[in-house]
Amino acid sequence: MAIARETVEQVASVSDKYKYGFISDIEADTAPIGLSEDIVRFISAKKEEPEWLLEWRLKAYRYWLTMEEPEWANVHYPKIDFQDIYYYSAPKQKDKLKSLDEVDPELLEVYKKLGIPLKEQEVLAGVEGAYNVAVDAVFDSVSVATTFKARLEKEGVIFCPISEAVRDHPDLVKEYMGSVVPYTDNYYAALNSAVFTDGSFCYIPKGVRCPMELSTYFRINAAQTGQFERTLIIAEDESYVSYLEGCTAPMRDENQLHAAVVELIIKKDAEIKYSTVQNWYPGDENGVGGIYNFVTKRAACRGENAKVSWTQVETGSAITWKYPSCILQGDNSVGEFYSIAIANNMQQADTGTKMIHLGKNTSSTIISKGISAGKAQNTYRGLVRMGRKAENARNHTVCDSLLIGDKCGAHTVPYIENQSRTATIEHEATTSKVSEEQLFYCQQRGLSEEESMALIVNGFCKEVLQKLPMEFAVEAQKLVGISLEGSVG
């Protein structure tokens, strides 16, 4: 009867809508609303930052003031009032924490509800089924807890909130922050550089294979608050790390802004695997509320044989604007991008990647699966560039779009620039709908229409789902079903 039980669970979870939409009543310490140099100074002071970082923030802020909001993406929304956002909100903290046990139990409760364990005991005690993952939990503007720090420290791995890294490892932060995504990069990167509040910092020393998966869980809770986090991961020669990122937010009628910057630095023979399940609140079926997700993610493969792999499952957010990219500088370096983007109801997604090939024998793979349902618009936008010196570089791109319903749109906008004779670029894209025959077949075998759709879509996404770490893959598969709820029938 295992199958029957599984079906029941599947149906239960499918009918579960957005289950992370609750609001937690946690007392917060908030900056005055709006944005100005004073706010930038306020954030910097709150974080007890050194002078150089404040200067950097101010430079970014002044540069941001000269920039114009980008309009090239295929997304439409009312102009954002940057003065109507709280740029800093942190849960009130009684005293400095000495260990995890001192974390506000209310916060722990929130994360328990989200399914993210902030406890080490279970794993240490060898409880079966416990996550063997170190978690950094970011709540609104600050990191509230990081697990397994001691275990990681033994290997020399640094995993901590970025504000702590600024304090404890200023040289590393100073050297690498902004080196992949400078504050001049784009509008939202400049804004983030000015007002970023927290995020994760990982440093994997030479020759170390990180003993567990590292994970950051982002939660927006406070109303009218923007979340601006910054993640920096450095993989030294011959090291390896798998990093997971998850995010949720309460259901609110207003739109909230999330503008993050993620920088990855991969040295010789090192590898970073970066997986995201993005499940910000997408707004309701009429397009009211939801997160504006404007994110800059970029990896620099600086050494020979460096490898980076981005895997993303984008199911949430009212608007997604995100292009995780790879700069393949080192000879033989490898970049991968596996993406599932699901847009339902009034969601708009404009996402893709950039593969910039500079070194010899560099190779990249792009697999993008876009699914549009309801009245959603889903755009793949990507760039593959082969530089003059990218001898024998290779790229293979597949972007497939699936349309469910006749009111949605699927768009593909790839840019391919080749300056290298010996480079090989292959790009293919298809757009189609779920065939009646497939649906009929599944239903004839006793599945409901909705289950059939979830099954077919999961099959369509399989190539990408397989790239996710196990725990994430299970969650992602369920998410695919939930996100498409209401798109058939």
Partner 1 sequence: MKTLTPLAQTYLDRFDAARSSLPGHQIPVVAALRETGFARFKALDFPGRKVEEWRFTNLAPLTKGIEPAAAAANADLPAAEFDTPHVMTFINGRFSPNESHLDQLPEGIKLSSLAAELDAGNSVVLGADTEENRPVVALNTAFMADGFVLQVEDGVTLDAPLLVRFVSLPGSGEVSHHLRNVIRLGKGAATTLLEEHVGIDGHAYFANPVTDITLAEGATLRHYKYQAESDAAFHLANTDTDLATGATYENFALTTGARLARNELESRIMGAGATSILNGAYLIRGQQHADTTTLTRHLVPENDSKQVYKGILDGEAQGVFQGKIQIVPDAQKVSGDQLSRALLLSDRASVSVKPELEIHADDVKCSHGASSGELDEDALFYLQSRGIEEKAARKMLIDAFLADVLEEISDDAVRTYFAKVTARWMEEV
Q: Which residues bind partner 1 (CB under 8 A)?
A: 72, 388, 401, 403-433
Closest Cα partner for 81 from 67, 69, 63?
A: 69
**Nearest CB to partner 1, comparing residues 200 and 401:** 401
267 residue type, one letter: K
- Give the shortest CB-444-to-partner 1 separation in angstroms: 22
**Nearest CB to partner 1, comparing residues 221 and 412:** 412
- Give the shortest CB-393-to-partner 1 separation in angstroms: 10
**Nearest CB to partner 1, comparing residues 250 and 387:** 387
**Nearest CB to partner 1, comparing residues 186 and 412:** 412
**Nearest CB to partner 1, comparing residues 157 and 410:** 410
E-assigned strand segments in 315-457: 319-322, 325-328, 334-343, 348-351, 354-357, 363-373, 377-386, 394-404, 409-418, 424-433
- Give the shortest CB-73-to-partner 1 separation in angstroms: 12
**Nearest CB to partner 1, comparing residues 91 and 370:** 370
Asked if residue 380 lies in contact with residue 349, where contact means CB atoms within 8 angstroms, the answer is: no
- Give the shortest CB-426-to-partner 1 separation in angstroms: 5
276: enclosing H helix or E strand: strand 271-278
Token digits for 256? 């909230």
**Nearest CB to partner 1, comparing residues 430 and 466:** 430
- Give the shortest CB-337-to-partner 1 separation in angstroms: 17
User: Could you tell me the maximum CA-CA distance found in the chain, to the nearest angstrom?
Assistant: 68
**Nearest CB to partner 1, comparing residues 38 and 69:** 69
Rounded CA-CA distance 42/340 in Å is 38
Count the alpha carbons within 13 Å of 70 in the hemisphere toward its beta carbon: 16
DSSP 263: E
313: enclosing H helix or E strand: strand 307-314
- Give the shortest CB-460-to-partner 1 separation in angstroms: 14
- Give the shortest CB-399-to-partner 1 separation in angstroms: 9
451 residue type, one letter: E
Buried b (16+ CB within 10 A) or exposed e, 261-300: bbbbbbbbbbbbbbbbbbbbbbbbeebebbbbbbbbbbbb
User: What is the DSSP secondary-structure string of 161-209?
Assistant: EHHHHHHH-HHHHHHHTTSSS-TTS-HHHHHHHHH--B-EEEEE-TT-B
- Give the shortest CB-306-to-partner 1 separation in angstroms: 24
- Give the shortest CB-356-to-partner 1 separation in angstroms: 14
**Nearest CB to partner 1, comparing residues 72 and 446:** 72
Determine how many CB atoms are found less than 10 A away from the CB of residue 364: 25
